[in-house]
Amino acid sequence: MSKILTIDCGGSKTAITIWQSSCAALPQPVAELTIPTDFADEQGLLPHLQQLCAEQLVEAAVLAVAGPTNSEDGRLGLTNNSCRLDLVGLRRGLPQVERWVVLNDLEAFAHALPAVEALGALEVVNRAADGPGLNGVCLAVAAGTGLGVAARLPGGRIVSTEAGHCSWAPENQAQVELWQRLRSFIDRPCYEDLLSGRGLVNILRAVYPASARRMLQPAEVTACALGQSDASPELVAACRQTFQIFSELAGTIFSNLALCYLSSGGVYIGGGVIAKIGALFDPYIFRQAFAKSCPFQAQLRQLPVYLIRQENTPSLGAACYAEKQLLG
C-alpha cells in the first residue's frame, strides 16, 4: 500500500490530496486540503504541503499545473495566474518524497477518464450508438478559471493542447451580434473568453451592458440565474439567457474540437464551472448546436457526450497516473 501526493494548481484554487494506492481498486483520498492560488511561488505553497504530509509516508507526488509544462528556466507558470513554481524548490521542501512528475492539469484530467467511468460519475448528454468508447480518441475539456483541452488516444496516451486559446468564429447571426459586442471589450475573443468562469461574465456583459456597472463574479451570475439573489427581473432574465448562450457555444465549440480530433470515443466535459452550474447547462440546446450542419453532421450526432460534475477529476487522474507510471 503506497501513498501519493497530488497538487492540482489551478488559476483560482489549488487542491492538495494524499491518496492511498491499491492494486485492487482505484486510489482513495485519505487527506485533502483546498487553498486559494494566491501564493507567488512554491515557498507560499510548501507550508500547506508540509502540514498535510507531516504524518503521511508519501512515496510519489504529481504536480498538475494549469499552464504549459515545458518551461525553459524550469519554473512553471500558470496561464491565468502570476504564480510560478519551481519543482526543485518543492523537492527540497519535501525531501521525503522520492518521485515527482509534472503534468498539465488537462493531461491529469484526461488520465482520469477510465476512473470516472468506473465510478459511474458520467452524466450522459448525448446517447449515441455503441462506439469504441475509451478505446477510441476521446476529447477531454474542462471549463473552470480557463478552458482546458486534451485528447486521450487509444492506449491511454494523452496529448495536451492550448486549444482553449483558439479564436472564436460565430456560426449564425445571433452569434455574429454577440461577437461584435464582445469585440467592444475583448480584442480577440477566443474559446476561453466564453467557456470559463470569466466567460459567463463576458457573455452577460455582452447581452446586458448594464451589468458592467458592477461586474458580477461567476458565482453571482449563477446565483442570479437560479433566482437566489435580489437582482432585478431584467438582470435575472439576462443571467438565464447567459446560460442558454453558454450551452449553445459549448455545443458549437466542442463539436469543432471533436472534428479536429475525430473523437470517436466521445467528448468528456468537466471543470469547476460545469460542476457548479447544475441544471443551468441546457443539454437540448447543446445537442442542437453540437450536431451542426456540416459534411460530418451524421457522425457528430453519433458521438457520445458526457458531463463530469465532480471537481477533483484532475487530482484523481494525477493519482491514477502516479499509480501506473511511478509505482507500477
Predicted pLDDT at 133: 79
pLDDT 10s digits, 123-139: 999 876 566 778 899 99
pLDDT at 302: 86
pLDDT tens-digit map of 157-201: 999 999 999 999 999 999 999 999 999 999 999 999 999 999 999
Give the tens place of pLDDT for each residue, 79-112: 999 999 999 999 999 999 999 999 999 999 999 9
- Record the cell numbers describing residue 196, joined without a space: 470559463
Query: What is the structure's pLDDT at 49?
Result: 96
pLDDT of 131: 67
Binned at pLDDT 50, 70 and 90, residue 311 comes out as confident
* pLDDT given for residue 21 in this prediction: 86
pLDDT band per the 50, 70, 90 thresholds, residue 141? very high
**Cβ distance 243 to 226 under 8 Å?**
no
Residue 217 pLDDT > 90:
yes
Residue 328's pLDDT is: 61
Contact by Cβ (8 Å): 296, 260? no
Residue of 198, 5, 222 lying closest to 100 (CA atoms): 5
- Kindly write down the DSSP assignment for every residue of 267-319, as one continuous string: EEEESHHHHHHGGGS-HHHHHHHHS-SSTTHHHHHHS-EEEE--TTHHHHHHH
**Mean of the per-residue pLDDT values for the chain?**
92
Q: Are 107 and 158 in contact (CB under 8 A)?
A: yes
Give the model confidence (pLDDT) of 228-278 as tens digits: 988 899 999 999 999 999 999 999 999 999 999 989 999 999 999 999 999
How confident is the model at residue 327, as a pLDDT? 67
Residue-level pLDDT at 24: 66
CB contact at 8 A, 86 and 129: no
Residue 247, helix vs strand vs coil: helix
Q: Are 76 and 63 in contact (CB under 8 A)?
A: yes
- Report, as an integer, the average pLDDT of 64-88: 87
- Residue 153 pLDDT more than 80? yes
What is residue 320's DSSP assignment? H
